[in-house]
């Protein structure tokens, strides 16, 4: 199936894949050839694309996924390929978010920042 992954900054992936696994706000979902039409909101999490030359792992910071025909389109608010992740920045962001949450456990912005930092660390270490 044809897969396009687009963020505001760039087209991060465009090509053929045999499988796509993404994290939606309702949980993880996998798409294979000829999947039923689908539109969903993406959560902060890892997306994996099974491309011809191996698995591509990306950190996704929200957005939308649409499946139509034999095509998957991912529009992300922010996305990073594993090789583009600065692990030191991610660890620093994680510490800052944990500090903010220690002051206010109900800080949604800090909770999302923590989740984004953890996702970048996970994707970076998986490559």
- Tell me, what DSSP letter sits at residue 7? -
| Same domain membership, residue 67 and residue 34 | yes
Arithmetic mean of pLDDT, 112-126? 94
Q: Residues of the chain with pLDDT > 90: what percent?
A: 88
| Same domain membership, residue 72 and residue 92 | no
| Same domain membership, residue 59 and residue 6 | yes
**Which residues are registered as beta bridge partners of 46?**
59
**pTM, rounded to two decimals:** 0.90
| Same domain membership, residue 7 and residue 34 | yes
Structure tokens at 37: 């039409």
Please write the tens of the pLDDT for every residue from 28-81. Answer: 999 999 999 999 999 999 999 999 889 999 999 999 999 998 999 999 989 999
Using the CB atoms, write b or e for 14-43: b if 16+ within 10 Å: eeebebbbbbeeeeebebeeebeeeebebb
Domain that holds residue 59: 2-82
| Same domain membership, residue 22 and residue 9 | yes
* Domain tally, the chain: 2
| Same domain membership, residue 108 and residue 69 | no
- The answer to whether the CB of 63 falls within 8 A of the CB of 74 is yes
Name the average pLDDT for the chain. Answer: 94
């Amino acid at each position: 199936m044809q897969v396009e992954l687009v963020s505001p900054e760039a087209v991060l992936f465009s090509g053929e894949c045999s499988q796509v696994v993404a994290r939606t706000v309702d949980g993880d979902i996998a798409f294979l050839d000829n999947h039923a039409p689908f539109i969903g909101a993406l959560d902060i999490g890892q997306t994996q694309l099974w491309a011809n030359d191996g698995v591509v792992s990306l950190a996704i910071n929200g957005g939308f996924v649409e499946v139509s025909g034999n095509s998957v389109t991912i529009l992300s608010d922010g996305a990073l390929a594993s090789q583009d992740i600065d692990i030191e920045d991610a660890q620093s962001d994680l510490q800052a978010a944990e500090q903010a949450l220690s002051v206010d456990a109900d800080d949604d912005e800090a909770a999302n920042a923590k989740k984004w930092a953890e996702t970048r660390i996970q994707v970076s270490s998986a490559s």
